[in-house]
Structure 1
Amino acid sequence: MEKDKQLPLAIIILAISIVFSSIWIGQSLKQIGYERNEIAKESVSVSSLQSDILGLEEAAKYLDISKSELLYIVEGKGSTINYIKINGKYIFSKEGLDKWVQSSRLEIQQ
């Protein structure tokens, strides 16, 4: 008789533990998915930022001039090209180069 009363109680306890554990696992999976989504968003924004940043050679190609011409312009007095020099490497932004081209005067050599 005692076993007949314990079996339904054990089934109810088992069912409750299955429900709570499935809720707990579901919440954990949602949190992992959220964190992965945030990481993916960050990597997309970083990669889009990196595509706007150019080294010396890339900037020269972007402006359709040689590296030596770009260095001459950058290191000349009164240069208005915005750049950063880190450990001897020049770093330019496409936006900065575009602004420089727009604000520069037209000079034609023949």
Structure 2
Amino acid sequence: MATVVDQPQDAGSPSQDTGTAEATASAAILEIRSRINEIDDAIIALWKERAALSQQVGATRVASGGTRLVLSREREIMEKFRDALGADGPQVALLLLRAGRGPL
């Protein structure tokens, strides 16, 4: 059974608990987590950018007399995410769509 090592941390710093006392494995885990954190930051930034762009599309459409939503477009996005991510894809797509248009 693996030994869990508790390491002190600042309230504002990411967790340094790697779940292993073995130094080489712990260092590798921390390096991988660093890259994961970079990816998370990029996802968050892209999420916010996508939501803002989607809100612009909706505002432009409504201002020109169009509908608030285009359901065929939402279905396309859901299918795209299902194809790319499998069973969890539609859930991710729904969250993205909601971020851009608000709840229904």
Task: From the two aligned structures, give the one with the greater strand fraction.
Answer: 1
Larger Rg: 1
Q: TM-score, normalised by structure 2?
A: 0.38
Q: TM-score, normalised by structure 1?
A: 0.36
